[in-house]
Chain A
Amino acid sequence: MKRILAVLFVLVAVTGMFAQDFVFSNASEPTLDPSLQTDTASTNVYLGLFEGLVQYDPKTSRAIPAVAESWTISKDGTVITFKLRKNATWSDGHPVTAQDFVYAMRRILDPKTGAEYAYFPAMVIKGADAFNSGKGKAEDVGYKAIDANTLEVSLTGPAPYAVDMMAHSSFGPVPQWAVEKFGNDWTKPSNIVTNGPYLLKDWKVQEYLLMEKNPKYWDAKNVKIKSIKVLPGDNDTTNYNMFKNGEVDWTHGIAVSKIDEIKLRKDFQASPQVATYYISLNIAKKPFDDVRVRKALAMAIDKKAIVDKITKAGQIPTDAMVPPLAGYTPQKGAGFNPEQAKKLLAEAGFPGGKGFPAFTYIYNTNEGHKAIGEFIQQSWKNVLGIDCTLQNMEFKTLLDLRDKQRDFTVSRNGWVGDYIDPNTMLELFISDSGNNAGNYKNADFDKLIEKARTAKVSDRYKIFQQAETMLLTRDQALIPIYHYVNLDMIDASKWGGWYPNPIGFHPWKFMYKK
């Protein structure tokens, strides 16, 4: 036992000498295989180990060159030709070629891979959806290697956001030879082959993951941070305590219960997200099928008060589904107006709330959702004289009830956009969407979303504005409450190259110590 302890002490001392450059609390255990990743924790590691054709601009989250040094888009907007740089290599010395991207694309779409995020490229890449659902062939997927350094990507339509999407890990390259040699074990530290600015040095599941600067990376001279230690801590309070104690340099997500203390700190960062917190009303149920009722419910809620008194972290109160984007003006539903709310409810046949059937507001168990639910319950009672019961349930139980069985009346809901475009916030309300919990069915709305898919770039935003007008201004199919913000703890006076941005991903290669 003594000997073991002695060895341990030596080990501790030795590892202590190589101090980490940057320590980061990642909220959960990542998946390393780019084709199998599903969450932010995995993307954070992907941004160190791998590099796609393009990557996120650290300030705007839009695409900037990475393995591809440039690209051209055909006149009709449906074909993108990428020029790959010649000096990009894998960690085992193989050059990074267009074929690696073709292989990765076919692999994530292959039904046998069973990749959850296959749907992401399938939204924009020609032939991808057909191959993934077993109706098409791999060869027909719109990814073609013209030569080792030229990749031609065909889209389902002129999607101007497609290049931005391609910074996502589901479009990342995968080394075919390593996957074929090691199978499912190819991402184990001893087998993994990567092409990003960092190499996987060590990975102890549930303990830590260590990345070190990749000297063979094509842009290695601009990579400043030597090593990044990624911790899997998922307890917000512990993460915050570690941050305060100087044990971690960055935590994503904050201890909501400490928001009053946290928001006074200089190292607290809040940045608007393409994401909306909203209430789903089940339109298939009476009396929620009456638009006057839905508008009355929306007008009774003071969203600014929710943000100021409950969430308190800089969330943006809203009456729209799409957050403000450059060039896009969100189209609003009904705002806070108690007098008008009472009038509308009376017109709908429930003066003073009389005769309004009792219903239940469901939410997934969480202090924040509970406080918001109580506020809304009180607003409806005070303004409209309507009674509703609050019911909390475990997250997956709520999903089952709300999204699968659609057996609910009113529910808390939330949606985080996948890319910066109105489409990602609106298409979930088309009639047959699996995420259209409120059962909004409107053929005209569906047509508009479909039309935008093939519309000219200059017309798209106008079409989306028409769609949002229909969804909210006319039909009030849901009640938007606020736009989410990314919440991070990082000391910007110590670390440069980290910016609050809309997608919330922060490529490591741009970061440096001030």
Chain B
Amino acid sequence: MTKFIIRRFLSLIPTMFVIITLSFFLIRFAPGGPFSSEKKLPEAVLQNILKKYHMDESMPMQYLRYFNDVLHGDFGPSYKYKESTVNELIAQSFPNSIVLGSVALALAVFAGIGVGITSALRQNRWQDYLAMSLAVIGISVPLFVIGPVLQLAFSMQLKWLPVSGWYGRKWPLTLILPALTLSFPYFAYIARLSRASILEVLRSDYVRTARAKGLKESAVVLKHVLKGALLPVVSYLGPAFSGIITGSIVVESVFVVPGVGRIFVQSALNRDYTLIMGEVIVYSLILVVMNFAVDIVYGFLDPRISYK
């Protein structure tokens, strides 16, 4: 077991190496550069800037320099936000994305499981149809539509919540709409997932036994059904968490949330090479570490999987 964990952990290193190397060169193949704009810079000015950021050196040299910096935990200066380093920008924005993501995930899990149980127990009745229609909407309607619709309803019409923003007078009210929007597709997926697995468990022998013993329906559901039925949901949490953190780009942009996703989009359009790289590294670290964690947790949850 320990051996497996160590081996699995060590395999993260080459994964990260490949990701860093590939993205370093790929973003430089994209046409244009951080300093191209509608008004072309005079050649002398451009050369000064390239020299300042060591971009006048050969590509392999730049790569080695960058890799060395990354190994020392330094992601370099941002080309667009000239007064900030990439480390500062990520340190400032990452906690906001984590707060938003965690609240959204908590909403998705509780609401999703709740709705899943209700529709499973009322299968093929109106509650089930209503819940599953909602879930279909949640999965199929993109976030950039849900977000503005919620803004329109709750901010513009009802005037209950602010349109956007983050900290300030209205915090934590500003958190509600973006968290709601972000949680929607995950809520929908979890609702469908839990409904399906509860239905499956409800038909299993041990539930029939529990009912035959004369247990109350609530006890059957809470003690026996849920325990077995939630396994798929739990194993979905890992990918969901990394997905919700890395997938908040649209939501952060619509609600002006100062998170990593918002600056990620901007950095790509700006060709802010160092900032893109920094974000790619952070995002991929989250993904590989969450996958790693899920692999480990699977073993504890599912006795059929054994580590060798």
Contact = CB atoms under 8 A, between A and B. Distances in A.
A348 interface: no
Contacts of B40: 403-404, 434-435
B274 to A, nearest CB: 14
Interface size range on B against A: 35 or more
Interface string B272-294: 00000000000000000000000
A400 interface: yes
Interface stretch (B41-49, B103-111, B135-143): B41-49
A394 B45 CA distance: 25
Nearest to A32: B83
B81 A29 contact: yes
Interface string B150-161: 011001100100
A205 B169 CA distance: 17
Nearest to B162: A247
A31 B77 CA distance: 14
6 tightest A-B CB contacts, nearest first:
A396-B32, A114-B52, A133-B44, A206-B258, A434-B40, A400-B31
B256 A204 contact: no
Given A114-B52, A233-B256, A396 B36 contact: yes
Interface size range on A against B: 35 or more
Given A204-B258, A205-B258, A245 B159 contact: yes
B271 A205 contact: no
Contacts of B51: 111, 114
A244 B84 contact: no
A508 B36 CA distance: 31
Interface in B158-202: 159, 162-172
Contacts, number: 157
Interface of A: 8, 12, 15-16, 19, 28-29, 31-33, 36, 38, 111-116, 118-119, 122, 129, 132-134, 184-185, 187-188, 204-208, 231-235, 237-238, 241-242, 244-245, 247, 394-397, 399-401, 403-404, 414-416, 434-435
B263 interface: yes
Interface of B: 30-33, 35-45, 47-49, 51-53, 77, 81-84, 88-89, 92-93, 148, 151-152, 155-156, 159, 162-172, 253-256, 258-259, 262-263, 266, 269, 271
A235 B255 CA distance: 8
A206 B48 contact: no
Contact of A242 (B31, B39, B45, B163): B163
Given A8-B172, A12-B169, A434-B41, A241 B151 contact: yes
A185 to B, nearest CB: 8
B82 A397 contact: no
A207 B167 contact: yes
A245 B155 contact: yes
B45 A132 contact: yes
Contacts of B36: 396, 399-400, 403-404
B48 A396 contact: no
A12 to B, nearest CB: 5
A205 B266 CA distance: 14
Contacts of A119: 41-42, 45
Given A16-B169, A205-B81, A238-B163, A400 B32 contact: yes
Nearest to B172: A8
B103 to A, nearest CB: 12
A401 B31 contact: yes
B44 A435 contact: no
Contact of B269 (A237, A396, A403, A435): A396
A116 B35 CA distance: 8
Contact of A207 (B42, B84, B156, B166): B166
Contact of B39 (A12, A134, A435): A435
27 contacts: A8-B171, A12-B171, A31-B81, A36-B83, A112-B52, A113-B48, A114-B51, A115-B45, A129-B44, A188-B83, A205-B84, A206-B262, A207-B166, A208-B168, A231-B165, A233-B256, A235-B256, A237-B148, A237-B254, A242-B163, A242-B165, A245-B156, A245-B159, A394-B269, A395-B32, A403-B36, A435-B39
B256 A231 contact: yes
Given A231-B256, A241-B151, A399-B38, A247 B45 contact: no
Contacts of A403: 36, 40
B255 to A, nearest CB: 7
Contacts of A245: 155-156, 159, 162-163
B269 A36 contact: no
A247 B165 contact: yes
Contacts of A16: 169
Nearest to B37: A399
Contacts of A415: 38-39
Contacts of B159: 245
Contacts of B39: 415-416, 435
A247 B163 contact: yes
